[in-house]
């Protein structure tokens, strides 16, 4: 692999799993080798769309108040956007973590020491250091007899641990994952890696808020998981970084996006996981009825009006169409969420997420669907995620949607804010914490 050095160009084609569009950041202050890739990226610059901005101004200033002023400033300044680097635990990581540390990157999540995983019963194997081999898998010494299991190939995750701020007290949930993402307080950019057949990528560049729905899913070894709207696969990869599910079904009906998804899976997962990760091509709206009660956990990372991307849509016809489509999205989203609630087993959880600030696609969708599912119970993510990660993300849990009135059956201690917390939490871009937009809600199907 090409050796990365701190002076290497920090150019980026952001592979933000939601946006799928190129953003050109302002000139890097340091030494930047002029290569073809940088020039190519610059050609794809998209300009701000005033019609979308005015639409957002109208809706979001009403829904978010002052928070919109800050979010607006961030969204209009791509140069301030931060990028997360999710490490691939199935790939050898020669000196990336050292480079990240030397550049001031820090681990977003607590680094789980392998002994903790063993204590938690998440794994039953002992580990050795990196040894070259197919797919760059790290070697292992299995305690079990017979052919090695996929869980035997977990990497030595202590090798890239960073010391944590002793002040931060992450929740047990957040510390119980092998998912690793590095972030920086400044908008430093890291080079992307091209897809190379037969070789695993070492990291995935993304908006770090995209990991929150996966954290809310609380992935554990042996889970059966459905990723209902899966392409291009960023969250599927994050799920596989978090633990070793028995099954991960990645569903994507769009053929082009499904190809993209397959490439992502090929680029990040070793072939030894092939039997556990399947790709399906169904309409997610009716998926759940066909496989009712089969899954432990379902992620609905719904198609939405992707605020970052829409703001930079350059074609006026496309903009008009998108604004028309926007009104239709909540019905599709609600149908996908209903389908997910059918697919999950009693006692299992569904996480619903979008990357828009729009309350119509977020809180309102969750509230509408809950009315149809008395056996579904929304869970409070405020303590578990928002409080744990407030150092890095700006959260809001107020729907700002005047038509939302608390359903008394959802109120605990007659508290309206508790009600809002239970419907979901929203990551709002903020200066210095530019992650998001990202909405997430977790709903448990009662036993
Ligand atoms: C926000 S993107 C998902 C991003 C993905 N989870 C990731 O992290 O990379 C939403 C996806 O839903 C897909 N989609 C659209 N309509 C769908 C439907 N009826 N059923 C399932 N997926 C659908 C879109 O093609 C798109 O790929």
In the structure encoding, which two tokens stand for residue 255, read together?
């053929």
Domain ranges of the chain: 207-445
State the Cα–Cα distance between residues 312 and 48, nearest whole angstrom: 5
Q: Which of 20, 229, 282 is the pocket-test mutation for ligand 1 (most atoms within 8 Å of CB)?
A: 229
In degrees and rounded to multiples of 5, residue 352 shows phi and psi of -110, 130
The CA 331 to ligand 1 mean position distance, Å, reads 15
pLDDT in tens, the chain (447 residues): 333 222 222 222 222 333 332 222 222 223 333 233 323 334 456 688 898 999 999 999 999 999 999 999 999 999 999 999 999 999 976 678 888 989 899 999 987 644 344 333 333 222 222 222 222 222 222 223 333 333 333 333 222 222 233 333 445 467 678 999 999 999 988 888 887 777 899 999 999 999 999 999 999 999 999 999 999 999 999 999 999 999 999 999 999 999 999 999 999 999 999 999 999 999 999 999 999 999 999 999 999 999 998 898 767 777 888 888 899 999 999 999 999 999 999 999 999 999 999 999 999 999 999 999 999 999 999 989 999 999 999 999 776 654 455 555 555 554 556 666 789 999 999 999 999 999 999 999 999
Strand partners, 395: 427
- Report, in angstroms and rounded to the nearest whole number, the Rg of the chain calculated over CA atoms: 21
Sheet containing strand 106-107, edge to edge, reads 106-107, 181-183, 84-87, 203-206
Q: Which of 291, 303, 330, 361 is the pocket-test mutation for ligand 1 (most atoms within 8 Å of CB)?
A: 303
pLDDT score, position 44: 55
pLDDT score, position 415: 57
HSE-CB at 376 with a 13 A cutoff on CA atoms is 27
The CA 343 to ligand 1 mean position distance, Å, reads 17
In the structure encoding, which two tokens stand for residue 118, read together?
């063993």
Which ligand 1 atom is at minimum distance from the Cα of 306?
A: 1
State the Cα–Cα distance between residues 294 and 277, nearest whole angstrom: 15
In degrees and rounded to multiples of 5, residue 66 shows phi and psi of -60, -30
State the Cα–Cα distance between residues 312 and 225, nearest whole angstrom: 34
Query: Domain 207-445 is of which CATH architecture?
Result: 3-Layer(aba) Sandwich (3.40)
Which residues form ligand 1's pocket by a CB distance below 6 Å? 17-18, 228-235, 251-254, 257, 283-285, 301, 303
| Residues with catalytic roles | 355
Strands (E), 88-139: 106-107, 126-127
The number of beta carbons lying within 10 Å of the beta carbon of residue 294 is: 17
**Alpha-carbon distances of 229 from 19, 76, 266, 328, rounded to whole Å:** 14, 28, 18, 17
Which ligand 1 atom is at minimum distance from the Cα of 354?
A: 1
Instruction: Name which residue sits closest to atom 13 of ligand 1, judged by CA.
Output: 229
User: Using an 8 Å Cβ cutoff, are 238 and 301 in contact?
Assistant: no
Q: What residue has token string 């609630």?
A: 341
State the Cα–Cα distance between residues 413 and 419, nearest whole angstrom: 10
Peptide bond into 380 cis (omega under 30): no
The CA 107 to ligand 1 mean position distance, Å, reads 28
Query: Residue ranges of the alpha helices (H) in 76-211?
Result: 96-102, 114-119, 172-175
For residue 227, the surrounding DSSP H or E stretch is strand 224-227
Which ligand 1 atom is at minimum distance from the Cα of 228?
A: 21
State the Cα–Cα distance between residues 156 and 177, nearest whole angstrom: 14
Which ligand 1 atom is at minimum distance from the Cα of 303?
A: 10
Instruction: Name which residue sits closest to atom 6 of ligand 1, judged by CA.
Output: 230
In the structure encoding, which two tokens stand for residue 389, read together?
């990660």
Q: What residue has token string 């990760």?
A: 277
């Amino acid at each position: 692999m090409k050796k990365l050095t701190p002076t290497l160009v920090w150019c980026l084609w952001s592979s933000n799993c939601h946006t799928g569009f190129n953003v050109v950041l302002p000139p890097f202050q340091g030494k930047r080798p002029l290569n073809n890739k940088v020039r190519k990226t610059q050609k794809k610059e998209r300009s701000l769309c005033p019609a979308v901005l005015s639409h957002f101004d109208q809706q979001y200033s009403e829904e978010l108040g002052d928070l919109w002023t800050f979010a607006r400033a961030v969204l209009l300044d791509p140069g301030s956007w931060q990028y997360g680097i999710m490490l691939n635990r199935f790939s050898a990581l020669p000196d990336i973590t050292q480079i990240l540390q030397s550049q001031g990157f820090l681990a977003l999540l607590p680094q789980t020491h392998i002994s903790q995983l063993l204590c938690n019963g998440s794994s039953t194997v002992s580990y050795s250091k990196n040894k070259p081999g197919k797919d760059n898998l790290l070697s292992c010494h299995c305690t079990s007899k017979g052919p090695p299991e996929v869980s035997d190939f977990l990497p030595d995750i202590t090798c890239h641990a960073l010391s944590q701020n002793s002040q931060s007290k992450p929740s047990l949930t957040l510390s119980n994952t092998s998912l690793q993402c590095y972030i920086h307080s400044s908008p430093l950019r890291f080079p992307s890696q091209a897809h190379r057949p037969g070789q695993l990528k070492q990291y995935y560049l993304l908006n770090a808020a995209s990991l929150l729905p996966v954290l809310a899913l609380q992935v554990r070894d042996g889970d059966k998981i459905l990723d209902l709207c899966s392409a291009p696969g960023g969250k599927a990869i994050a799920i596989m970084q978090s633990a070793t599910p028995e099954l991960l079904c990645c569903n994507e009906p769009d053929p082009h996006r499904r190809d993209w998804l397959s490439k992502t899976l090929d680029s990040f997962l070793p072939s030894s996981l092939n039997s556990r990760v399947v790709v399906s091509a169904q309409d997610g709206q009716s998926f759940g009825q066909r496989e009712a009660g089969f899954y432990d956990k379902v992620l609905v990372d719904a198609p939405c009006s992707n605020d970052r991307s829409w703001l930079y849509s350059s074609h006026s016809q496309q903009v008009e169409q998108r604004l028309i489509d926007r009104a239709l999205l909540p019905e599709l989203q609600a149908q996908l969420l209903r389908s997910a609630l059918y697919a999950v087993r009693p006692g299992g959880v569904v996480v619903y997420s979008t990357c828009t600030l729009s309350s119509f696609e977020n809180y309102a969708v969750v509230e509408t669907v809950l009315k149809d599912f008395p056996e579904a119970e929304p869970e409070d993510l405020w303590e578990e995620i928002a409080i744990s990660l407030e150092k890095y993300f700006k959260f809001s849990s107020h729907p700002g949607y005047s038509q939302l009135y608390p359903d008394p059956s959802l109120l605990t201690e007659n508290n309206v804010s508790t009600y809002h917390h239970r419907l979901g939490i929203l990551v709002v871009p903020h200066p210095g914490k530019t992650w998001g937009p990202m909405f997430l809600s977790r709903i448990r199907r009662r036993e």
